[in-house]
Amino acid sequence: MSAVAQSAVLAILEQHISPLHARAMLARAVGSDGAIEIGRLPELVEALERGVRLFGGARLEDTIKRQILALAPSEASEVRIEIAEERDVIEARLAARQLCQTLGTRALVIQRVATAVSELARNVSLYAGRGVVTMTPLRGGAALRIVVEDEGPGIADLKSVLDGTYVSRTGMGKGLLGVKRLVDEFDVKTGPRGTRVEATVVLDPTSGGMAR
Ligand SMILES: Nc1ncnc2c1ncn2[C@@H]1O[C@H](COP(=O)(O)OP(=O)(O)OP(=O)(O)O)[C@@H](O)[C@H]1O
Ligand SMILES: [Mg+2]
């Protein structure tokens, strides 16, 4: 079952090249349609190389190469870390760094991701006791979705936390708002049965995300 759909590769190409050319380029590289074995992804990248370089130069070639290779689960798939104690917060931060590195993310962006993950994980360990951090590469590694969930008591003052007027008894009270500012998409759902924070960070601004 270790194969990716051709449509996933096509979707990556179409982010950069006109659909017509993307389709032709892919057809030339792989022949008939169907799935592509994970093990053959590097081969495919090589086959696409010349065409892509002619279109967009070495920079585009790099981006596309990275995105296609990131389709391989062994290279970078979803990472799940259970948070139960302080140690796990550090582990989550490290895992975030590692995943970003695998995806070829720039150092500055890695720093943002790692900070966001550790702030959210720290909140879980402090206020909910336990929970789960899930990090999922999106669009072939062009972005990362971070979901941090717990079944704790919920955030009573979410509104004031997010507008910056909250006064914390346990910390600076700026963790969540800081995370919101670090990421590209941010959503919190909270209630008496738990909290779910979902954040998305664009890793590769050349692929149509919000450039910073
Ligand atoms: N997962 C959570 N479950 C329950 N309450 C939470 C959770 N995350 C945050 N809170 C509540 O929201 C408040 C604000 O969190 P935030 O991370 O912004 O600041 P803080 O943790 O108090 O301080 P710091 O700036 O050190 O992070 C916390 O003080 C806590 O009361
Ligand atoms: Mg905090």
| Angle formed at CA 120 by CA 88 and CA 74, multiple of 5 degrees | 60
Place of tokens 């664009």: 202
User: What is the per-residue pLDDT across 41-77, written as a single tens digit (0 to 9) for each?
Assistant: 888 888 898 888 888 888 888 889 888 887 776 455 8
| Token pair recorded at residue 163 | 């507008």
The pLDDT score that the predictor gives to residue 76 is 59
Say yes or no to pLDDT of 88 above 80: yes
Rounded distance from Cα 123 to ligand 1 centre (Å): 5
Q: Which ligand is nearest to the CA of 179?
A: 1
- Specify the residue for token string 């969930």: 149
Task: Say which amino acid occupies 98.
Answer: Q
CA of 155 to the centre of ligand 1 (A): 7
Atom of ligand 1 nearest to the CA of 154: 4
Chain center to CA of 191: 26
79-207: in CATH 3.40.50.720 = no
- Lowest-pLDDT choice from 15-29, 67-81, 137-151: 67-81
Q: What is the pLDDT at residue 211?
A: 40
Q: Looking at residue 70, what is its pLDDT? A: 78
175 lines ligand 1 (CB under 6 A): yes
pLDDT score for 33: 62
Split at pLDDT 50, 70, 90, the class of 1 is very low
Per-residue pLDDT, 39? 75
Burial pattern 163-190, b for ≥16 Cβ within 10 A else e, equals: eeebeeeeeebebbbebbebbbebebeb
Reported as type and span, the H/E element at residue 175 is helix 175-182
The pLDDT score that the predictor gives to residue 32 is 67
> How much is the average pLDDT of 154-159?
96
Read off the tokens for 130.
Answer: 């336990």
Q: Is 194 near ligand 1, meaning CB less than 6 Å away?
A: no
pTM summary value: 0.70
Long-range contacts of 103-106 (CB under 8 A, 24+ apart): 103/66, 103/70, 103/76, 103/137, 103/141, 103/144, 103/203, 104/66, 104/70, 104/141, 104/204, 105/203, 105/204
Beta strands (DSSP E) in 6-91 are 35-37, 79-83
Asked if the model's pLDDT at residue 212 lies above 50, the reply is no
Amino acid at 126: L
Q: Identify which of 155, 163, 169, 196 to mutate to test ligand 1's pocket (most ligand atoms within 8 A of the CB).
A: 155
CA distance 172 to 123: 12
**Residue-wise pLDDT tens digits, 89-123:** 999 999 999 999 888 788 999 999 999 999 999 99
Find tokens 């302080």 and name the residue.
86
**What is the percent of the chain where pLDDT is above 70?**
92
Structure tokens of 97? 């760094």
Per the prediction, the chain carries an average pLDDT of 88
116 closest CA partner among 136, 132, 96, 138: 96
pLDDT score for 71: 78
- Cα distance between residue 140 and residue 16, in whole Å: 13
